[in-house]
Amino acid sequence: MELNKDLLNLNGKAAIVTGGAKGIGSAIAYRLAEAGASVMVADLDEEAASKCAQDLTSKGWKAISLKVDVSVESDIDNMINTTKDHFGSVDILVNNAGIYPSKLIKDMSLDDFEKVIHTNLRSVFLSIKKASEVMKTQGGGKIINVTSIDAIHPSMAGLAHYDSSKHGEWGLTKNAALEYAEDKIWINAIAPGGIATPGVAAMSQGAGAEQMAEQTKLFMDRIPMHRMGDADEIAKVALFLASNMSSYMTGEQIVVDGGVLLR
């Protein structure tokens, strides 16, 4: 039987974290690097990604960064090839990059809808398809998709495109888990509730801020733990799913929401 400390040891593993520069992704990159993984911080924000990778290497951990737009297929190819070339393998893929602009359907254009679907869902299909080719040749791997409680139940009006993408991502997680189990690629999801991140902070500024502040208050009132979650509270669950702690799990979604879905 493995010792506790060995179960969480990711030495020799290479991990990709999309949207790894900020918020939940950055917290996940930190936890995986601390556990010994070599981490590719892949993000649209090149400067923030580079800073995140530097923070990790300054602690003596292994990390690099790359500018990646997950809605662009060639960027995903480049992300996977660069990780493999640099670290020698792709063992863990965290599909975290996502956007959640608020807009009611009556005001939503087809472009608005497609942008969210391409960023949050099509990207996950492409990443799973391409990373699994590499993982297969290595004898297995772990894929973690950051979905949302909105993959299960809508949190507020104005997120129809987002909820479509997240319900889709959860369905994709389950079917991909079924398909790739025989290749020893375990695919699971984490569904966060309200987590304090730069993306959430940005929602309560700019156009529609007043309406958003009202929505946020209503949402806060529904949290049995009476507080927003911290990004590291998602990262700890990602470490569990990336490690041997979750050796008999695939096609599962772990809800981390302070109890919101109990209401």
Ligand X SMILES: NC(=O)c1ccc[n+]([C@@H]2O[C@H](COP(=O)([O-])OP(=O)(O)OC[C@H]3O[C@@H](n4cnc5c(N)ncnc54)[C@H](O)[C@@H]3O)[C@@H](O)[C@H]2O)c1
140 binds ligand X (CB under 6 A): no
Q: Which of residues 89-108 bind ligand X (CB under 6 A)?
A: 96-100
3-class secondary-structure state, position 85: helix
21 binds ligand X (CB under 6 A): yes
**Of 9-17, 179-187, 197-205, 210-218, which part binds ligand X (CB under 6 A)?**
197-205
3-class secondary-structure state, position 142: strand
145 binds ligand X (CB under 6 A): no
198 binds ligand X (CB under 6 A): yes
Query: Which residue, 140, 30, 36, is CA-closest to 89?
Result: 140
Q: Closer CB to ligand X, residue 197 or residue 250?
A: 197
197 binds ligand X (CB under 6 A): yes
163 binds ligand X (CB under 6 A): no
Burial 205-219 (b: 16+ CB within 10 A, else e): eeebeeebeebbeee
The Cα 148–Cα 107 span in angstroms is 23
User: Which of 8, 40, 41, 44 forms a contact with ligand X (CB under 6 A)?
Assistant: 44
Q: Closer CB to ligand X, residue 69 or residue 91?
A: 69
Position 195: which residue type?
I
Catalytically active residues are: 162
Report the alpha-carbon angle 74-22-193, nearest 5.
105
| Residue located via tokens 């608005």 | 112
19 binds ligand X (CB under 6 A): yes
70 binds ligand X (CB under 6 A): yes
Residue 231 vs residues 4, 61, 71, 190, 218: alpha-carbon distances, Å: 24, 20, 23, 12, 21
**Of 33-41, 64-72, 212-220, 244-252, which part binds ligand X (CB under 6 A)?**
64-72
**For residue 111, what are the contacts with CB-CB under 8 A and spacing of at least 6?**
none
User: How many residues lie near ligand X (CB under 6 A)?
Assistant: 30
**Of 62-70, 176-184, 210-218, 242-250, which part binds ligand X (CB under 6 A)?**
62-70
Q: Closer CB to ligand X, residue 11 or residue 204?
A: 204
Q: How far is the CB of 42 from ligand X (least distance, A)?
A: 7
Residue 92 vs residues 113, 163, 193: alpha-carbon distances, Å: 29, 26, 23
> Site residues (CB under 6 A) for ligand X?
18-19, 21-25, 43-45, 48, 68-71, 96-100, 119, 146, 148, 192, 194-195, 197-200
